[in-house]
Amino acid sequence: MAKTMYEKIWDAHFVHQEPGQAALLYIDRHLMHEVTSPQAFEGLNIAKRSIRNKHSILATLDHCVPTKLADRINLPDPIGAKQVATMINNCEQHGLTLYDMESKNNGVIHVVVPEHGFVHPGMTTVCGDSHTATHGAFGALAFGIGTSEVEHVMATQCLPQAKSKTMLVKVDGTLSKYSTAKDIALAIIGRIGTAGGNGFVIEYAGSAIDALTMEGRMTLCNMAIESGARAGLVAPDQKTYDFLEGKEFAPKGDAWDQALSYWKTLPSDDGAEYDLVIELNAADIAPQVTWGTSPEQVVPVNQTVPAPNDFEQEGKQIACKSALDYMDLDAGTKMTDIEIDFVFLGSCTNSRIEDFRAAAEVAKGTKVPANVTAIAVPGSYMVKEQAEQEGLDKIFTDAGWEWREPGCSMCLAMNGDQLKPGQRCASTSNRNFEGRQGKGGRTHLVSPAMAAAAAAAGRFVDIRELEQN
C-alpha cells in the first residue's frame, strides 16, 4: 500500500503496543535547553534511573541567556542564572554534550542542531520546546514535548504516542521575490486557523516548497505548530543532502552512502492518501503582517485591519474584538499606517544567515528613527560570525540597529529583552500572544525583510512598493 512519509517514519520507529495502551515510538534525537529540563533530571535522579542513550542528546543554553555580552558573564536574573547553572551541572553529571555560553557552537537549539547536522531525514526528534517542528525541514518527525515526557525519553528512549492524521499542504507556483517562507507559513495559518492542524502532521509539498532553501523550509516547518499541527514535514531532496554532507554529526564514508539510499526511500509514495489536502498558489501570497494576538489574525500588508463583522463565526468575532482592544487598533486602519516602537530580528523562526542577508539588503543605507529600537539577534554564534564576515553587522549598526549575542531573546522575553507595556513591535518570531514579548507588549509577526523595512520607516511598509521607487 502506498504510504505517506509520516507513516514510513512511524512504522520505522514503532516499538510495541500493549492492548489498551498507546503505541511506544522510538526516539532518535533528544534536544535540550535549560528551561524545560531541570525537573526531568531531578525526576530521573529521584527514581534512580539513568539516561538510556546519551548520544541521542544535544543541549544548549538559549532561552534565558542575555544577548548583551557583559550580562552573559554575570547573569543579572537570579532565576535565569540558576537555570543555566542547573543545566551545566546536569550535563556534566550525565556526560551530555552542551553548547554552553562560552562555546562557539552556542545558540538557539533549533538553529544550532541543523548547523551541526544532528538531525537527519527519517529520524524521530523531540525537545521540550514547541518549535521542535523546525527539524521537519529535513524530513524528520520532530515535535515538542512536556517536562514529564523529557524525563520519559531520557529513561526509555521511547514515548507513548497516538498516531496523528495526515494533512498535505500543497503550495504550487512561484513566490514573488518579496515573499518568503515566513509569508507562506503565515498565509497557511491564516487560511486553516490556529486549530486547523489539531490532530494532524502536516506535509508541505509542491513546486514552491521544492524551490525553498533549507533555511526557508526550517522557517516553514517551525510554524507548523502555530497551526495546531503536531509536526510539519518536507520530503528530503538534493538540497537536504547537500546541506547535511560534511557536517559534524552527518554520516561519513560508507555510512553516508547507506544513509543516502535510505533517505531516498522516505518521500511519500505516489498515490499515498492523506486525511486532508489543502492547496495554495504561491503567486497569490503577498508579504504578511499579523494584526492580532494569534498568528491566524494575519493579512497581506497592503490590506487593512479587519472588523469583528468581517468574520462569520461568533468565536472569531469575539477574538477579533478583544485582539483589537489589546493591540489598540481600529478596524479599517491600513496596515502600512501602523507605527511601531520596536523591531526584533531573531528567534528560531528567522535568525539564520539567509534571514540576516534578506534584512540587511533592505536595511542598507537606511536609518532607524530615534523613537524606534531595533535589535538583531543572530540564532547562533556561527550565524553571527558568518554575518560579520559578510559585513552585515556593519550594515545594521550603521542603520542604527543593535547587534547582539545569540539567544531566544524577545521570542519569549525570558532573558530581560522585552517590550514595555503598550510598545508595538515588528517581530520575526512565531507567536504574537498577549504578553509574549513583555507584559502589555504588542507583537506583529513579519518576515525579516518586512521587519527591516518597518525599522527604517517606523511603520509597516509594503516592501513591493519600496523597491519600485
Partner 1 sequence: MEKYTKHTSVAALMNRSNVDTDQIIAKQFLKKVERTGFGIHLFHDWRYLDDDGTIANPDFELNKPEFKGARILVTGDNFGCGSSREHAPWAIDDYGFNTIISTSFADIFYNNCFKNGILPIVVDADTLKKLMSEIDANEGVEFTVDLENQAVTTPAGTSVSFEIDGFRKHNLLNGLDDIGLTLKQADKIDTYESKHKEKFPWLWAS
Question: What is the contact surface with ligand SF4 in residues (CB under 6 A)?
Answer: 62-63, 108-110, 129, 131, 347-348, 408, 411-412, 430
Helix (H) or strand (E) holding 16: strand 14-17
* Closest to partner 1 by CB, 34 or 226: 34
177 binds, among ligand SF4, partner 1, none (CB under 5 to 8 A by kind): none
Length of the chain in residues, anyone? 469
Q: At what angle do helices 353-363 and 381-389 cross, to 10 degrees?
A: 40
- For the bound state, the minimum distance from the C-beta of residue 74 to partner 1, rounded and expressed in Å, comes to 19
- For the bound state, the minimum distance from the C-beta of residue 349 to partner 1, rounded and expressed in Å, comes to 25
Q: What is d(CA 91, CA 94) in angstroms, rounded to the nearest whole number? A: 5
Chain contacts with partner 1 (rule: CB under 8 A): 15-16, 18, 20-21, 24, 26, 28, 38-39, 42-43, 46-47, 49, 55, 79, 82-83, 86, 120, 123, 146-148, 151-152, 155-158, 160, 249, 251-252, 255-256, 258-259, 262
- For the bound state, the minimum distance from the C-beta of residue 211 to partner 1, rounded and expressed in Å, comes to 29
- Residue indicated by cell numbers 519600496: 466
- For the bound state, the minimum distance from the C-beta of residue 249 to partner 1, rounded and expressed in Å, comes to 7
Amino acid present at 59: A
Amino acid present at 400: G
Phi and psi at residue 366, to the nearest 5°: -100, 175
431 is written with which cell numbers?
507567536
* Closest to ligand SF4 by CB, 424 or 431: 431
283 binds, among partner 1, ligand SF4, none (CB under 5 to 8 A by kind): none
28 binds, among partner 1, ligand SF4, none (CB under 5 to 8 A by kind): partner 1
404 binds, among partner 1, ligand SF4, none (CB under 5 to 8 A by kind): none
412 binds, among ligand SF4, partner 1, none (CB under 5 to 8 A by kind): ligand SF4
Neighbouring CB atoms inside 10 A of 270's CB total: 6
Pick from 408, 406, 447, 407: which is nearest to 428 by CA? 447
* Closest to partner 1 by CB, 160 or 416: 160
* Closest to partner 1 by CB, 27 or 272: 27
- For the bound state, the minimum distance from the C-beta of residue 265 to ligand SF4, rounded and expressed in Å, comes to 31
R_g of the chain, CA atoms, integer Å: 21
Pairing between strand 158-161 and 23-26? antiparallel
129 binds, among ligand SF4, partner 1, none (CB under 5 to 8 A by kind): ligand SF4
Cβ neighbours of residue 120 under 8 Å, at least 6 residues apart? 138, 140, 244, 250, 251, 259, 263
C-beta contacts of 197-200 below 8 A and 24+ residues apart = 197/167, 197/224, 197/227, 197/228, 197/229, 197/230, 198/228, 198/229, 199/164, 199/165, 199/230, 200/164, 200/165, 200/166, 200/167, 200/228, 200/229, 200/230, 200/275, 200/276
109 binds, among partner 1, ligand SF4, none (CB under 5 to 8 A by kind): ligand SF4
- For the bound state, the minimum distance from the C-beta of residue 144 to partner 1, rounded and expressed in Å, comes to 14
* Closest to ligand SF4 by CB, 8 or 230: 230
* Closest to partner 1 by CB, 64 or 411: 64
